[in-house]
Amino acid sequence: MFKGKIPSTHHATDATWSKWIALITQRARMGNFSRPGILEVIMDWPEGKKFETSPGEEVSRAKEAPPYNELPGNEKKYALFTDGSCRIVGKYRRWKAAVWSPVRQVAEATEGKGESSQFAEVKAVQLALDVAEREGWPVLYLYTDSWMVANALWGWLQQWEQNNWQRRGKPIWSAELWKDIAARIKNMVVKVRHVDAHVPKSRATEEQKNNHHVDQAAKIEVAQIDLDWQNKGELFLARWAHETSGHQGRDATYKWARDRGVDLTMDAIAQVIHDCETCAIIKQAKRMKPLWEEGRWQKYKYGEAWQIDYITLPRSCNGKRYVLTMVEATTGWLETYAVPHATARNTILGLEKQVLWRHGTPERIESDNGTHFKNSLINTWAKEHGIEWIYHIPYHAPASGKIERYNGLLKTMLKAMGGGTFKHWEKHLAEATWLVNTRGSINRDGPTHSSSLHTVEGDKVPVVHVKSMLGKAVWVLPASGKGRPLRGTVFAQGPGSTWWVMQKDGDVQCVPQGNLMLGECSQ
């Protein structure tokens, strides 16, 4: 059947023919019953060897052992069954090698990471040799279910050694292990027998039952809870990488994590992205008509729409560390309110003092999704005042562009006034806020010069500007005529002959023109 010659022009099929010959030979039980194996024949048969073994073949290393049940009673104590296994645990491949003594009914094992089950099979042979040498056995009967191990000990070692531990010009697999085994076998009588594995218990012989024992000893047991925690740990890292990198896609998140020394699987990243609520919102927003275009504020009048946020600064001498920033959407007018903690209650206090009491109740307030904004206290307060509170889409820059721009301007002003640091920022906050509002350039006016401020309805903060007073430093005289005058800056005209003045401590009040004095004032 196999005497036909493979055509010389079909070299690419040589390996395929060899594999089929080995497979059919094994299944048909052709040739010597104890030869050959399937995978071992295909992958590890030495050069020059035929698939069939001649009856007169001599084996130079280990002889073939008899079946275990045919061993003399006093020889069974020198018999060991060997096996090896491999399993993927998390991101690593773990192997385990074991030997089983039928007489003593005990097993001995060793394990490690990063190698295959074939490597573990060879390590099991080393472990058996360790036991035999340690106890001074005159002979070792080795029983294995690996054809690769059996064939190597029966004769391959001799040929590998003659070929300088090379095969087809390349070093053999795990050469150092085989060299160690070959050297030790020279000083010991070793007999090897191949055992058929995975035989039903009802038909299993004593030999096969012992092989089952060593098979169980070589299994890598991983508790289900360990697997669950391991999976959860990988998902936790994947979620951290996805969120910290800015909710990027699978490949971009993988590259971002790898660049930072975190090894993640594509499956874990894909699962995290699939479950990410933020990514779902972003995808939905991209399908809808863009909400955040430039003209979105055109339907609002002055004071009806605001964007708010918190910025963090070094703790001041008064214990304040955060500034609630509030930007009027149609003009870009900035209000600020320093607080020790960014909380929902401080947010409400800042809005009432800086927005509602000065500019009237707004119709719309926009913020990010921070806990100081997104909570039941804020929701209740907004409903009571008839305010529509909108939360920005995370990681969607145009949504919060205005407030972020003003946060940057305010920090720049505070840093400049502190000599390159934020030193005494609370002292400079009011002036820095005023500078942001009165800034401007050759091509663009600042918020205080916005045309929207010239159309005032009701009691909204006012603002028809008169060049003679606007931006002037003034002294505010007490209405009672008693007490010390306070220093301030005029930033807008109020109803009639009144002016809006921002005092040095940050308070703002509407003062009649008669109570104002320009320039320096003696005390």
DSSP per position, 464-505: ---TTTTT-EEEE--TTS-S--EEEEEEEE-SSSEEEEEETT
Half-sphere exposure (Cβ direction) of 261: Cα atoms closer than 13 Å: 0
Q: Angle at CA 222, nearest 5°, toward 219 and 227?
A: 145
Cα–Cα distance for residue pair 41/26, rounded to 1 Å: 9
Model confidence pLDDT, tens digit, residues 334-357: 999 999 999 999 999 999 998 888
231 shares its domain with 241? yes
Which of 415, 434, 453 is the C-terminal boundary of a domain? 434
The confidence score (pLDDT) of residue 342 equals: 92
485 shares its domain with 347? no
Cα–Cα distance for residue pair 413/432, rounded to 1 Å: 6
136: closest CA among 77, 71, 211? 77
Cα–Cα distance for residue pair 388/364, rounded to 1 Å: 5
The confidence score (pLDDT) of residue 392 equals: 73
361 shares its domain with 387? yes
Q: Is residue 316 part of a domain?
A: yes
Q: 522 by DSSP, 3-state: which?
A: coil
255 shares its domain with 314? no
CB-count exposure of residue 131 (10 Å: 0-12, 13-18, 19+):
middle
pLDDT at 310 over 90: yes
Q: Is residue 371 part of a domain?
A: yes
Tell me the average pLDDT across 167-185: 84
The confidence score (pLDDT) of residue 308 equals: 92
Proportion of the chain in helix, strand, coil states, percent, rounded to 5: 40, 20, 40
Find the CATH number of the domain harbouring 337. Answer: 3.30.420.10
Cα–Cα distance for residue pair 334/448, rounded to 1 Å: 10
320: closest CA among 344, 303, 337? 337
pLDDT at 523 over 60: no
Q: Angle at CA 188, nearest 5°, toward 185 and 192?
A: 70
Find the CATH number of the domain harbouring 477. Answer: 2.30.30.140
323 shares its domain with 342? yes
218 shares its domain with 230? no
237 shares its domain with 325? no
123 shares its domain with 233? no
> 472 is in which domain, residue-wise?
462-518
Which of 245, 260, 287 is the C-terminal boundary of a domain? 287
Model confidence pLDDT, tens digit, residues 498-520: 777 877 776 777 777 777 877 65
178 shares its domain with 128? yes
Q: Is residue 22 part of a domain?
A: yes
Q: Is residue 417 part of a domain?
A: yes
Q: Is residue 367 part of a domain?
A: yes
Model confidence pLDDT, tens digit, residues 65-121: 888 888 888 888 899 999 988 887 766 778 899 998 888 888 888 888 888 888 889
145: closest CA among 127, 174, 125? 125
Cβ density class 218-231: b for 16+ within 10 Å, e for less? beeeeeeeeeeeee
Q: Is residue 439 part of a domain?
A: no
Cα–Cα distance for residue pair 333/433, rounded to 1 Å: 9
- Decide if 65 contacts 192 (C-beta within 8 A): yes
Q: Is residue 482 part of a domain?
A: yes
334 shares its domain with 260? no
> What are the helix (H) ranges across 245-317?
250-259, 266-275, 277-287
For the record, the structure tokens of 323 come out as 């500034």
pTM: 0.37
Model confidence pLDDT, tens digit, residues 352-373: 998 888 888 888 898 888 888 9
Cα–Cα distance for residue pair 366/306, rounded to 1 Å: 6
How many structural domains does the chain have? 4
pLDDT at 144 over 70: yes
Q: Is residue 94 part of a domain?
A: yes
The confidence score (pLDDT) of residue 29 equals: 43
424 shares its domain with 497? no
Cα–Cα distance for residue pair 519/508, rounded to 1 Å: 19
282: closest CA among 379, 173, 397, 417? 397
57 shares its domain with 195? yes
